[in-house]
Structure 1
Amino acid sequence: MNICIIGDGLTGLSLAKNLTNKKIDVHFYHKNKIKNLTSSRTIGISRNNLEFYKKEIYEIPKKIFWQIKKIEIYSEKLNKERLLKFEDKKDNLFYMLKNDELYKLLMKDLSNNEYFKKKLIKNDSSFKDLLKKNKYDLIINCDLNNFFSKKFFIKKIDKNYENLAYTTILSHQKLKNNVAIQIFTKNGPIAFLPISNNETSIVCSLDTKNKKYNDYEVLELINKNNPKYQVQKKLKLSSFKLSSSNLRNYYHQNILAFGDLLHRIHPLAGQGFNMTIRDIKILSKIIQNKIDLGIQLDESILSEFEKETKIKNFIFSNSVDLIYEVFNLDKKIKNKSFNKILKIIGKNKGLTNYFIKIADKGLNF
């Protein structure tokens, strides 16, 4: 059994590790340089997804992830009064990690794996050779902008938010730091995501349709909305454009689109990589069933995967988009009615527990 994975990021490496754990030969095609892997980028992994990741992908050491016990939502419109609180008193809600730390651990582990081989992509002819030689049972494409993506996976439902997400990490005085805070401001949401007792990741998503921001202005917004941190040092800001997309067709022949190529969402709910982990879980289960039955890995895996995930992914990603649009509309309205309604919802433990379950397990609970 031979599988080709194309893509330089955490998605491709996580999937490669899962497959090599099954003793499947994986050829990992990568470009010369890793893109968009900076020390200011972090990811949140839900409790359920972390359990799967540690069991079926890689035993992430405790020292690189940070426990989040509570999420609090505030609104600038109500003078930063708390609107919602999500908490499971028996367990953590999710865990924060630095992208580059997990990437380096996965790459180091796989580099010593007999079932894993790295191959360099030089140009489009490398992709054409993959098709001509037809030496892989499956090709899994995790790259948004390569030859396969532009040729076979162009039919999407796209949306440009006309937002930029700015990320940085605050170094601050030590304090008990297990509460994630999101503040909805008139400029856009700002998330404060703890990664240790003296470091907090910041994701600031700003509407750039009518106003462009320089780094100084972004940092001023962050400082203005800083809920409690006594800042000692800041890293340089990084930024990226925000958009959402849902792919119409998940596969072409024996080529499967995967990760952000399948679905891309707004980061305000912190669910992007969690959706990908859930996809890995389902694909892994389908492949393992074939192995257990002694059936050759072929295109039927891809149709099964699409059938099981496509509708759920579409509903989930559109739910995140709806959350964005509701808050986006609210910041344009002068009255405080919506925020007051949210405060009432926040007092309903049944509803908040329901939202916690969806954030933890997606639509599979």
Structure 2
Amino acid sequence: MKLGILGNGLTSLSLAKSLVNKGIFVDIFLDQKNLDFNKKRTIGLSKKNIDFFNREILNIEKFLWNINKIEIYSENLKGEKILNFENDNYDLFSMIKNFQLQKELLSKLTINKFCNFKKKKNYENLNLKEYSLIINCDSRNQITKKFFYKNLIKKYNSFAHTTIIKHKKIKNNVACQIFTRKGPLAFLPLSETETSIVYSVKGEKNIDLKKLFEKYNFKYESVLFEKPASFELKSTNLRSYYHNNILAFGDLLHRIHPLAGQGFNMTIRDINILCELINCRIDNGLELDKSICIDFEKKTKHKNYLFSRGIDYVYEFFNLESKMDNNILSKSIQVIGKNKFLNKSFEKIANNGLDF
């Protein structure tokens, strides 16, 4: 029994590590000889997903920076807070740098006897019969272009601009998001002296991120900027999750707006479900075959679609308000946020997805 994984990103490495932990042989096909580590990208992980990651994939506690409070503001309310989330019993989520997680996963997989790295520029000649399952996490290969190109696509006419700032040491455990007239701006703490900035700006590929940061910054001092990176924003949902024994995975299945920081959280939930299906087959002495792809799609497709649509509705809500000359919508959210039941419900969805 052997599985093939196409791609070398966080999704591929995380999934591979969860499989080799079960004693499953995995071949990882890299799309480049040397991995490039993007040091400007960060990830926010929910508590439930961290627990799963630590238990089933790799203990990452030493890399995490915990967030115990989230504050949300609207520019239409002149800096007034519209939502506030905090929990006395546990941290709401934690931040981690992409490259730290990627390097740690790679180092553990490199020395694992169940894992083998292969270089493959062209997947056309891949021997599909050699593998019980092939999991495709690579959006740029020929298999994707041939079998996984039918998507529901929404373009936001926006670009996300990301960087990491270094600043004067402070108690830095409160994440902040401001819905500006240009788009959502997030301040995501990474340590006492570092904070990730993610600004999704409508229609502007080239911006002066430092100038915009200075306009909305209210707590960071002695700031040093790293050179920003940017990428186009769009939402996608794949129409069909599999072809024969090839399962699409990760961003190929769903890509969402980063305003809620839920993209990789959705992928970890998918890994959890896929692992449960694989465990069930192994426990019952069954082969790993195409039936896993079928069952995985049945279990996840509708939830992934509804969750991604929910994120899109949040974006459109605040996008509508940015075009208005009043603050009625922000005021209404402010009132809703004071309802403890609804507030806790929002928190549970962020933590668990639609399984709450």
SS state of the match for residue 314, structure 2? Answer: helix
Moved over 2 A (4+): 33-37, 211-214
Hey, what's the Cα distance between the residues in 2 that align with 1:113 and 1:35? 18
Match of 1:174 among 163, 169, 172: 169
Q: Residue 277 of structure 2: SS of its match in structure 1?
A: helix
Is the counterpart of residue 93 in structure 1 residue 92 in structure 2? yes
Give the aligned CA root-mean-square deviation in angstroms: 1.2
User: How high is the TM-score relative to the length of structure 1?
Assistant: 0.95
1:130 counterpart letter in structure 2: L
Percent identity for Structure 1 against Structure 2: 52
Contact 2:210 2:225 survives alignment (8 Å): no
CA distance in 1 between counterparts of 2:68 and 2:142 reads 43
Correspondence for 2:337: 346
User: Does the Cα contact within 8 Å between 1:74 and 1:182 map onto a contact in 2?
Assistant: yes
Contact 1:72–1:82 (CA under 8 A) maintained in structure 2: yes
Q: CA deviation at 1:40?
A: 1.1
The one-letter code sitting in structure 2 at the alignment partner of 1:166 is H
1:112 maps to which residue?
Answer: 111
Q: Residue 324 in 1 paired to residue 298 in 2? A: no
Structure 1 residues 62-73: aligned runs within 5 Å: 62-73=61-72
1:3/1:296 CA distance change after superposition, 3 Å: same
Matching residue of 2:153:
158
Q: Distance in 1 between matches of 2:94 and 2:298?
A: 30
Q: Residue 267 of structure 1 aligns with which residue? A: 258
Scaled by the length of structure 2, the TM-score of the pair is: 0.98
User: Is 1:177–1:197's contact at 8 Å kept on the other side of the alignment?
Assistant: yes
Cα offsets for 1:61-100 (capped at 9, x unmatched): x331100001100011111110000111111000100000
Runs of 5+ consecutive residues of structure 1 not aligned to the other structure: none
Q: 1:44 is matched with which residue?
A: 44
Separation in structure 2 between the aligned mates of residue 356 and residue 212 of structure 1, nearest angstrom: 32
How far apart in 2 are the matches of 1:15 and 1:49? 13
**2:124 aligned with 1:128, yes or no?**
yes
Deviations 1:204-251 (A, max 9, x none): 10001xx5533xx22211111113100331111011111010001000
Tell me which amino acid in the other structure corresponds to 1:325.
E
Q: 1 CA distance for matches of 2:108 and 2:193?
A: 29
- What is the distance in 2 between the residues matched to 1:44 and 1:363? 18
Change (3 A) 1:80 1:100: same
1:37 Cα offset (Å): 3.5
Counterparts of 1:325 and 1:289 in 2: how far apart (Å)? 40
Distance in 2, matches of 1:223 and 1:160, equals: 28
How many pairs does the alignment contain? 356
Quote the offset at 1:36 in angstroms.
6.9
Using the TM superposition, give the Cα deviation of residue 34 of structure 1 relative to its aligned residue in structure 2, in angstroms.
Answer: 6.1
**Could you list the runs of 5+ residues in structure 2 that have no partner in the other structure?**
none
| Match status 1:145 vs 2:136 | no
Distance 2:338 2:226 in 1: 37
Q: Any idea what SS the aligned residue of 1:90 has?
A: coil
Name the residue aligned to 1:364: 355
**Which residue identity is paired with 1:264?**
R
